[in-house]
Every structure is written in C-alpha cells, then in structure tokens.
Structure 1
Amino acid sequence: MTGRGKKLSDEDRVLWNLVARSAKPLKGKLGVEEPSPEPMTMEQAMALDKPAVKAAAPAPAKPRQTVTHSFDAPTHDKIAKGRLPIEGRVDLHGLTQDQAYSLLLSFLTRAYAGGVRYVLVITGKGSSSGGEGVLRRAVPAWLLTPPFRILVSSHDHAARNHGGSGALYIRLRRHAVPKS
C-alpha cells in the first residue's frame, strides 16, 4: 500500500489485525477498535492467487519439477549455526487454520518475489496436553500443495535455537532467469 485513502486487501487486513492486537495504547490514551474481517477460507485464499482471466499460454516444453524435500545436512547446519541468514520469519501462533494458510501463502509469495531464499515459519508445538499442534501438522502438508510447491524448494524442522519442532526452515525456489 503506497498512498493514503487506499483500501487494504484481505491479506493485508489479516496481517494488520495480528499486529494491531499485539499493540497496547499509550498511557492515558484510548485504544481504537477495528472491525475484524470475516475469516478467509482456504478456497478463498487460493482464489486470490488465481488471475481473473486465464490467458491461453503455450504448454512448457519441459515441466518444471515441483517436489519439495528436506534440507541436506550441511545446509541445515549452516542455517542452525547462523552462517546462512534467515531472511524472513512469520509466526502463526494463535491463528485459525484458514488465517494461517492465507498469511503463510501471502508471506511466502512476497518473500519469493523479493528474492528471499531462507525463511523461518513458527507454528508452535501445540497444546500442553501432549497432543501435537494442528498447525504443526498442517503446515508441512500445505507445503506439498500446488500453491506452495511453486514457491518452496524444500523444508525441514528448525534447530532448537530457532524453535525446534515448533518451527520450520523453508528454502524458497530461485527465480528463473530469462535467457538473453
């Protein structure tokens, strides 16, 4: 969003509401209540990524491989020890699956567009009653779906100092460089 008076997109509004909920008003000032948007379903989030008009594009000669896999050990060690920078991070704590899905997809899309290679996604470890968290199980499954496969090269559980089993390292694909 660059100018005043423009409306926020649904993705931006979800992200803004997360930030606004964590903010506390200054002493002696009253907080401002923003109406929260209706939560997006996964279908609605996926519809945002589809272009309004599908143009007939020629089929590529060679399909691009979109398989995600775990990091190799040296890369995982370099990230864990801080020798490879984590260029972005997103925290999905306290979100519903629909909110987390749309936030993760928009975050990864922006990171990919910005040329970012490695990001950290914090899902949390789940409930303290011994059950595994919903987002902890769902996020790796989402990364295997078509909207994420075009962005994600590989993913793996984070090192202990970055959240352990409650976080994931994600390596984003490189942009295809057009041949000149």
Structure 2
Amino acid sequence: MKLPRGLTAEEQAAWAHLASSVDPLAGRTRPKVVAAPAGQTAPPKPAAPKFTKVVRPPPRMVPVPTPPPGPRRIGHTSLDSHWDRKLKSGSIAPDYTLDLHDHYLDAAHDRLESGLSQARAMDARLVLVITGRPRPVEAADRGSKRGVIRAKLLDWLAAGPHADAIAAIRKAHRKHGGEGAVYVVLRRNR
C-alpha cells in the first residue's frame, strides 16, 4: 500500500490503529498498513515556529497641507443697525469721495487704488465711489460699452490691496448718486 505523502512514523501508527477499528463497506477490503521498521525512529517534529513581536515604526506624521484661502468676500459683513439706518436714509456724509465717472477703464482702476490709499491715510470711514449708472448690457460687451466701470468695481475691490480694509459695500442713497454710486465702508486703522 502506498502511504499518503508526508506521513511520519507516528502518523502511520495512528492511521493503522484507526484503520483496524473500522468495518469496511460491502465489497471492500480493509487496507493493509505497513508498520515502520523497528530500528527506524520517527523524524523529529519540526519545532513550533517562534513568533516574534514585529515592531513597526509609528506612522510618519505628515503635516496636512492647509487649503489655500478662498476668494475674499468683501462687503458682505453686517454693519450694526445704526450704520445701516444712516446709510439707507442718506443722513451720513461721506468722508471721502472718488469720482470715477467718465474715466477710461485703466485710469479708473488706478484712481480707485490711489484714492482708497489716500482715504485710509486720512482715516476715513465712509468713501463714496461714483461710477456712473449701470447700463443693461451683455457680459461680453462690458469691456467696450457704457457701465464698464460699475461692472468691474466689485472685482477691483475684492482683488485689490485694500480688500482687507473694507468692512462693507452698500448702494448709495439717492442724494449721493443712487444707482450710479456706491458706499465703501472702511475698517478703523489700528
């Protein structure tokens, strides 16, 4: 009889004992088990594997990059009710007035930047920016048609060097220009 592959002498003896205790099915014979020769000893059992504790280094602490700041939103902070009431009623006089009306686009932008620098140097709180009334034009025509300064004003203020100094932007009262002007409320210099 061919022994199963890889049985040791002890395993062969155990198999012979088990096979002798079982009655074979009808029509089958009991398998013959060959005992191991007397002088042969069983090969040594392999030693149980030694488990060593695997020490893994702690995970590297990779600093999580902070996302870049989003676009600055100016003019959306709420003023106290005292300021809002005064601006809506037109009872407060502007500290500084910038007239960008009838300027070319580049000249108006330069005038806005220098005018806001001057207003901040004077510690002005309320700046009236006169742009001219907006014209209903398509977005593609704003570069050459009337109302282009008004259309670009908020972008200039948000992207300019004075964006952090602007507390709020509000529509001007009718007596200060109405639709053709804007109040720019500056923060106090610290």
Of 161-170 and 148-157, the range deviating more from structure 2: 148-157
Flag the 1:173–1:67 CA change in 2: closer, same or farther, 3 A.
farther
What's the secondary structure of 1:170's corresponding residue?
Answer: strand
- Residues 155 and 168 in structure 1, CA contact (< 8 A), matched pair in contact too: yes
Of 158-167 and 133-142, the range deviating more from structure 2: 158-167
Structure 1 residue 151 displacement after superposition: 3.0
Q: Kindly report which structure 2 residues correspond to 1:23-172, keeping only aligned pairs within 5 A, or say none.
A: 67-70=73-76, 72=79, 74-126=82-134, 130-131=136-137, 133-172=147-186
Amino acid at match of 1:166: G
Structure 1 residue 76 displacement after superposition: 3.1
- Residues 166 and 184 in structure 2, CA contact (< 8 A), matched pair in contact too: yes
2-structure distance, mates of 1:79, 1:105: 23
Q: Deviations over 1:96-152 (max 9, x none)?
A: 11100111111111111111000100000145xx43610111011111114130332
Instruction: Note the residue ranges of structure 1 that are not aligned, 5 or more in a row.
Output: 1-62
- Residues 79 and 86 in structure 1, CA contact (< 8 A), matched pair in contact too: no
2-structure distance, mates of 1:146, 1:108: 10
2-structure distance, mates of 1:114, 1:172: 11
Match of 1:175 in 2: 189
1-structure distance, mates of 2:110, 2:173: 25
Structure 1 residue 93 displacement after superposition: 1.1
Amino acid at match of 1:123: T
Q: Give % identity.
A: 34
Instruction: Note the residue ranges of structure 2 that are not aligned, 5 or more in a row.
Output: 1-68, 138-145
Q: How many residues end up aligned between the 2 structures?
A: 110
TM-score with structure 1 setting the length: 0.54
Of 138-147 and 115-124, the range deviating more from structure 2: 138-147
Match of 1:21 in 2: none
Flag the 1:97–1:151 CA change in 2: closer, same or farther, 3 A.
farther
Instruction: Kindly report the root-mean-square deviation, in angstroms, between the aligned alpha carbons of the 2 structures.
Output: 2.3
What's the secondary structure of 1:150's corresponding residue?
Answer: helix
Match of 2:42 in 1: none
- Name which one, 1 or 2, has greater alpha-carbon Rg: 2
- Residues 123 and 189 in structure 2, CA contact (< 8 A), matched pair in contact too: yes
What's the secondary structure of 2:120's corresponding residue?
Answer: helix
TM-score with structure 2 setting the length: 0.51
Flag the 1:82–1:164 CA change in 2: closer, same or farther, 3 A.
closer
Amino acid at match of 1:68: I
Match of 1:56 in 2: none
